[in-house]
């Protein structure tokens, strides 16, 4: 039973008109002899590209404050980051070496694999219990046994540097934003851009500023991974109970004490969520970082796939997942432990720090005895195992036996799902599209949002990227629809069934940390190069938030409402349809929002399998070292992301108001 | 800990200077490594020779195009494989800035052309002559491109003028661009496993022609006029009615290299290697699974006279 009031009729009509216009847009343009309707004339394009390029050239080559040039400053920063990085890298991977090249002599080898494993086990036991210790121990043993140790330590070194700087910097920025609302308003859009502009777009200027090598990779990683920390800090501080704040003031704290002794500790739980995000995003960047000299596991993945060694690529990819799981679980339980009160154990320093002592003793022992038995320093190469052949054979088996089935599925999706969406989106005349977007913004969030939507869409238009932007919207839109159709039911299932929940959780954790490049190449083998392959890759990567938020939303429906439903005699299905799903809708919408963000961030990766969208534009710009072109395309992606984000947030807010969750 | 390390490196420096009697500077020469075996072998041979001459070298992983940013600023010093066919534009741009110099050819010649597995000869008799493609385009068709044949081209950034070629030679083919090298050869591997029809962009030196049995299509030979003048070639009205150019693979260096390590520069300039040697080594590394360092050490062992000659020059 749908009530048809006037506004609904208007909305429905507009939607139908838009679709019809899209379907017949091209023919319309031809018959009216107005091709500019669907194809923005290149004469009207404003050359933002060259403006940005020349600004960048000036910044890198000429900008100076007195005798100190801009690049001197960035190089100094790079040097500062490099020192701790080199130290950690030396300890974990290289060892202390005297002399260079041929005369090199190892003075002190890198920390032995035995010690590192013992240390993480001890840390796991210290943070929670033996179960955690066993888990992280197993993770690190995997790295040794599967021959990934050396690369994993290089990756670990960069994580150990990037995460503290990213999290610490994010915390500080967040605190300033909390104290000064004006600052918050200024950095908020900057954070949006940092999160949504693909890294490839600003890689070239970063290389010039910070030099070629791991440090640039670290800087790029931090730019991408810090924003969630800033946001969460500000949110968490705002959410601290005002009574605690008042109590702190009454106790006569200075402002500094109030912040560090009262506010930050009370918010520590939420802050750790931010740290966790920084860790995950840092590990996400491992592949891209390895393209500009970070080495490590990311490089192994790239090199393996370059020689089509799917098995080796897969193993290195799983090593990244394993590393992510270990660091994530450790950091979470460490945060929990920090939040608890502990009783001092009486006794000497040694009895109180038994684990530390044990690890230190092991360290010295392996260093001394390692002179006689290399086994103590490095995991023996002939003891490693590999499952590489298994993966290669699996893909080959699927390819040889089921290719026709895959082909049929692909053709079905292309003809009935993807191509229609593409035709419509590319056919909508741009004046109409921008008008509709502005109207939608006005409807969802008033004139401010209308202005934002219209303005950003127009900027994309005048940079001459309209049709590539439409291909982007089509590819992301189609993937998000599929991801939602798969993800939301999975999330609901995870919320209602504990055992299914555990399996689903593990699955999406893996999908999110496994570098997409690992499965991209097998997917190409089974589905060939093209949009459908890109679609699969995007759906796999962007599925996670749809599942997580749906599960969270369904779980947090209040017990009283469920009770009320049960009392009035709802069947489980009715309970789901009339109570759980509607109440979880705002959360589900936020999940879709995140899905869109992830889908957009995958675009640059899917350009590697030959899509023709903004991601490709960014990738081409990178390979031609064209800063302006890359940034303009990157900004266009960011604009699409911001428009989608604002519209959906406004929609979620309206939904919450409708259900009385917010007023 | 920091102090310890600084102290150690200072100590290391004094030791190194006393030992290095022949070279101008003991600072490491930084060579870039990419993600394909041929380049790794090429670079490591160069590095080994420089080490034999007493220089210190350091290998850094870098992206093929992104490395120019490092070469310009002097963060990186030497790139051993800049392909005429894919890197010329970036190289020209870099040398124009004055901060990068082209040190000459490596002796390797890049060949890029349409390539098909041998079993396609049964389905399309007349190959490798390009005119055979005219009659059996349908053999190469897929559901998406039918009735046209499907040709898998390289990433758009590689250029190659394949769309133009298809039109000028009146081939009923559709050009589909793979986004990366890896995706391109994944297509080949997939088709080869199923003995399915495929024609795609292959280049040498590469491991693919060693692993898969097949050959290049023979187009009318390339000439500069064929690309620039429509009247030249098979089709009097259109340009690009011929095969692709073949080009050398260049060595590129930071312009400060010659000044800082003049001896090393001369060695780099003299360095020369050929396609056959390289293909054999790439095959050993990628197909037989021999460690790259072993492959390099073998080459150094068997070619001692050659590289000693480059050093003494």
Query: Hey, are the CB atoms on B65 and A624 less than 8 Å from each other?
Result: yes
- Closest by Cβ to A295, choosing from B54, B61, B179: B61
Question: For the whole model, what pTM was predicted?
Answer: 0.84
Structure tokens at A38: 């669907």
Residue with tokens 């018959």, as numbered in its chain:
A31
Distance CA B191, CA A187 (A): 51
pLDDT reported for residue A473: 94
Assess contact for B310 and B271: CB atoms under 8 A: yes
Short-list B198, B37, B83, CA closest to A308: B37
Quote the domain boundaries for residue A647. Answer: 468-658
What is the distance in angstroms between the CA of the first residue and the CA of the last residue of chain A? 28
Structure tokens at A321: 């997942």
Distance CA A457, CA B57 (A): 51
Q: Are residues B118 and B202 in the same domain?
A: yes
Residue B234 counted as domain residue: no
Q: Are residues B144 and B124 in the same domain?
A: yes
Q: Are residues B200 and B183 in the same domain?
A: yes
A623-644 residue pLDDT tens: 777 888 999 999 999 999 999 9
Among B228, B258, B287, the domain-final residue is B228
Structure tokens at A492: 């609901």
Short-list A282, A281, A313, A279, CA closest to A299: A313
Q: Give how far the C-alpha of residue A396 lies from the chain's centroid of Cα atoms, to the nearest Å.
A: 31
Among A308, A338, A372, the domain-final residue is A308
Residue A80 counted as domain residue: yes
pLDDT reported for residue B17: 39
Query: Hey, are the CB atoms on A208 and B183 less than 8 Å from each other?
Result: no
Whether the per-residue pLDDT at B3 is higher than 70: the answer is no
Q: How many CB atoms lie within 10 A of CB A627?
A: 26
| Chain B residues within 8 A of A299 when measuring between CB atoms | 35, 61
Residue A606 counted as domain residue: yes
Short-list A496, A602, A509, CA closest to A196: A602
Short-list B272, B270, B269, CA closest to B258: B269
Q: Which CATH number is B182's domain given?
A: 3.40.190.100
pLDDT reported for residue B10: 40
Per DSSP, the residues of B41-52 read HHHHHHHHHHHH
Residue A444 counted as domain residue: no
| Chain A residues within 8 A of B90 when measuring between CB atoms | 623-625
Instruction: Residue window 238-267, chain B: list those with CB within 8 Å of chain A.
Output: none
Distance CA B33, CA B10 (A): 28
> If you compute the radius of gyration of chain B from its CA atoms, what whole number of angstroms results?
23
Helix (H) or strand (E) holding B302: helix B292-302
Residue B13 counted as domain residue: no
Q: Are residues B83 and B135 in the same domain?
A: no
Q: Are residues B32 and B97 in the same domain?
A: yes
Q: Are residues B213 and B269 in the same domain?
A: no
Residue B90 touches partner A, C-beta closer than 8 Å: yes
Query: Hey, are the CB atoms on B190 and A528 less than 8 Å from each other?
Result: yes
Residue B306 counted as domain residue: yes
Q: Are residues B209 and B260 in the same domain?
A: no
Q: Are residues B164 and B223 in the same domain?
A: yes
- Closest by Cβ to A524, choosing from B72, B155, B183: B183
Residue with tokens 């500069």, as numbered in its chain:
B224
| Chain B residues within 8 A of A290 when measuring between CB atoms | 61
Residue B183 touches partner A, C-beta closer than 8 Å: yes
Q: Are residues B42 and B70 in the same domain?
A: yes
Quote the domain boundaries for residue B77. Answer: 26-109+248-312
Residue A329 counted as domain residue: no
Short-list A155, A106, A180, CA closest to A279: A155
Mean pLDDT value across chain B: 84
Q: Are residues B116 and B208 in the same domain?
A: yes
Among B228, B256, B278, the domain-final residue is B228
Residue B6 counted as domain residue: no
Instruction: Residue window 123-152, chain B: list those with CB within 8 Å of chain A.
Output: 142-144, 152
Residue A187 counted as domain residue: yes
Structural domains in chain A (count)? 2
Query: Hey, are the CB atoms on A530 and B60 less than 8 Å from each other?
Result: no
Per DSSP, the residues of A409-451 read HHHHHIIIIIHHHHHHHHHS-HHHHHHHHHHHHHHHHHHHHHH
Q: Are residues B105 and B115 in the same domain?
A: no
Residue A402 counted as domain residue: no
Is beta strand B149-153 parallel, antiparallel or unpaired with respect to B199-204?
A: parallel
Q: Which CATH number is B47's domain given?
A: 3.40.190.10
Assess contact for A189 and A197: CB atoms under 8 A: no
pLDDT reported for residue B2: 38
Residue A100 counted as domain residue: no
ipTM of the predicted assembly exceeds 0.85: no
A11-52 residue pLDDT tens: 888 888 888 888 887 777 777 777 777 778 878 888 888 888
Structural domains in chain B (count)? 2
Distance CA B66, CA A625 (A): 7
| Chain B residues within 8 A of A100 when measuring between CB atoms | 12, 16, 26, 28, 56
Residue B156 touches partner A, C-beta closer than 8 Å: yes
Residue A456 counted as domain residue: no
Hey, which bits of B34-124 come out as E strands? 57-61, 78-83, 100-117
| Chain A residues within 8 A of B186 when measuring between CB atoms | 308, 521-522, 524-525
Cα A336-A342-A345 angle, rounded to 5 deg: 135
The segments of chain A whose pLDDT lies below 70 read 1-4, 98-105, 339-345, 661-663
Residue B239 counted as domain residue: no
Structure tokens at B158: 């590689």
Among A239, A273, A308, the domain-final residue is A308
Among A262, A284, A308, the domain-final residue is A308
B98-122 residue pLDDT tens: 899 999 999 888 888 999 999 999 9
Q: Which CATH number is A593's domain given?
A: 1.10.3720.10
């Amino acid at each position: 039973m749908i009530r048809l009031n006037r506004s609904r009729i208007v909305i429905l009509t507009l939607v139908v008109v838009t679709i019809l216009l899209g379907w017949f847009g091209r023919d319309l343009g031809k018959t009216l002899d107005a091709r500019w309707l669907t194809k923005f004339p290149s004469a009207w394009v404003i050359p933002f590209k060259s403006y940005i390029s020349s600004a960048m050239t000036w910044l890198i080559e000429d900008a100076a404050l007195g005798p100190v040039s801009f690049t001197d400053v960035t190089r100094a920063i790079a040097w500062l980051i490099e020192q701790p990085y080199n130290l950690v890298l030396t300890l974990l991977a290289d060892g202390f070496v005297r002399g260079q090249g041929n005369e090199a002599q190892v003075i002190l080898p890198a920390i032995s694999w035995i010690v590192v494993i013992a240390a993480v086990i001890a840390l796991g036991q210290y943070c929670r219990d033996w179960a955690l210790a066993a888990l992280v121990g197993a993770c690190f043993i995997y790295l040794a046994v599967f021959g990934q140790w050396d690369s994993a330590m290089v990756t670990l070194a960069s994580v150990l540097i990037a995460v503290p700087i990213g999290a610490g910097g994010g915390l500080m920025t967040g605190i300033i934003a909390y104290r000064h609302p004006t600052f918050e308003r200024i950095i908020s859009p900057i954070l949006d851009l940092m999160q949504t502009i693909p890294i490839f777009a600003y890689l070239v200027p970063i290389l010039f500023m910070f030099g070629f090598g791991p440090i640039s990779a670290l800087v790029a990683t931090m730019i991408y991974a810090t924003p969630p920390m800033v946001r969460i800090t500000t949110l968490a501080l705002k959410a601290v109970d005002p009574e605690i704040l008042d109590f702190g003031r009454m106790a006569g704290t200075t402002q500094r004490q109030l912040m560090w002794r009262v506010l930050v500790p009370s918010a520590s739980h939420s802050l750790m969520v931010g740290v966790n995000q920084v860790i995950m995003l840092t590990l996400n960047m491992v592949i891209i970082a390895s393209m500009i000299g970070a080495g490590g596991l990311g490089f192994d993945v790239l090199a393996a796939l370059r020689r089509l060694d799917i098995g080796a690529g897969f193993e290195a990819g799983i090593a990244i997942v394993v590393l992510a799981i270990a660091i994530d679980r450790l950091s979470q339980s460490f945060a929990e432990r920090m939040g608890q009160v502990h009783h001092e154990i009486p006794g000497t320093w040694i009895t109180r720090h038994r684990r530390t002592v044990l690890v230190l003793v092991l360290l010295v022992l392996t260093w001394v005895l390692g002179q006689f038995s290399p086994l103590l320093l490095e995991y023996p190469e002939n003891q490693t195992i590999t499952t590489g052949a298994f993966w290669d054979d699996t893909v080959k088996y699927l390819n040889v036996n089921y290719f026709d089935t895959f082909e049929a599925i692909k053709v079905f999706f292309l003809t009935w799902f993807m191509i229609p969406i593409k035709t419509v989106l590319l056919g909508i005349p741009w004046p109409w599209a921008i008008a509709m977007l502005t109207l939608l913004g006005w409807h969802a969030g008033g004139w401010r949002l209308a202005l934002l939507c219209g303005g950003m869409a127009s900027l994309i238009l005048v940079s001459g990227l309209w049709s590539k932007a439409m291909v982007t919207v089509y590819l992301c839109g189609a993937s998000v629809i599929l991801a939602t159709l798969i993800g939301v039911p999975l999330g609901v299932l995870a919320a209602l069934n504990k055992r299914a929940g555990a399996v689903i959780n593990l699955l999406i954790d893996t999908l999110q940390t496994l570098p997409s490049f690992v499965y991209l190449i097998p997917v190409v083998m089974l589905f060939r190069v093209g949009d459908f392959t890109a679609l699969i890759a995007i759906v796999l990567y962007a599925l996670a938030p749809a599942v997580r938020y749906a599960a969270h939303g369904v779980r947090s429906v209040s017990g009283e409402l469920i009770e009320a439903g049960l009392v009035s005699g709802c069947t489980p299905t009715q309970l789901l349809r009339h109570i759980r799903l509607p109440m979880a809708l705002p959360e589900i919408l936020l999940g879709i929002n995140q899905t869109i963000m992830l889908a957009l961030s995958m675009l640059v990766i899917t350009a590697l399998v030959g899509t023709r969208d903004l991601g490709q534009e960014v990738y081409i710009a990178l390979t031609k070292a064209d800063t302006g072109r890359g940034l303009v395309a990157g900004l266009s992606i960011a604009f699409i992301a911001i428009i989608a984000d604002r519209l959906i947030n406004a929609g979620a807010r309206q939904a919450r108001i409708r259900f009385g969750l917010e007023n | 800990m920091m102090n310890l390390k600084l102290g150690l490196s200072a100590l290391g420096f004094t030791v190194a200077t006393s030992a290095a009697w022949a070279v101008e500077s003991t600072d490491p020469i930084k060579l870039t490594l990419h993600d394909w075996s041929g380049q790794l072998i090429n670079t490591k041979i160069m590095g080994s020779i420089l080490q034999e001459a007493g220089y210190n070298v350091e290998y850094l992983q870098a992206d093929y195009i992104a490395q120019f940013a490092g070469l310009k600023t002097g963060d990186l010093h030497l790139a051993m494989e800049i392909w005429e066919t894919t890197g010329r534009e970036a190289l020209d741009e870099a040398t124009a800035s004055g901060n990068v110099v082209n040190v000459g050819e490596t002796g390797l010649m890049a060949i890029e052309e349409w390539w098909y597995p041998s079993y396609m000869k049964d389905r399309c008799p007349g190959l490798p002559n390009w005119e055979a493609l005219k009659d059996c385009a349908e053999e190469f068709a897929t559901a998406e491109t039918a009735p046209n044949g499907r040709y898998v081209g390289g990433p758009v950034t590689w250029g190659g003028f394949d769309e133009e070629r298809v039109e000028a030679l009146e081939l009923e083919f559709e050009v589909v661009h793979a986004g990366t090298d890896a995706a391109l050869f994944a297509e080949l591997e997939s088709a080869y496993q199923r003995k399915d029809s495929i024609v795609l962009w292959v280049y040498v030196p590469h491991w693919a022609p060693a692993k898969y049995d097949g050959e290049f299509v023979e187009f009318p030979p390339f000439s500069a006029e064929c690309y620039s003048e429509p009247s030249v070639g098979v089709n009097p009205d259109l340009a690009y009615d011929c095969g692709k150019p073949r080009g050398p693979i260049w060595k590129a260096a930071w312009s400060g290299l010659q000044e800082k390590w003049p001896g090393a520069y001369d060695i780099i300039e003299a360095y020369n290697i050929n396609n056959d040697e390289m293909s054999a080594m790439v095959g050993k590394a990628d197909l037989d699974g021999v460690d790259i360092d072993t492959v390099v050490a073998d080459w150094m062992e068997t070619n001692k006279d050659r590289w000693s000659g480059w050093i003494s020059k």
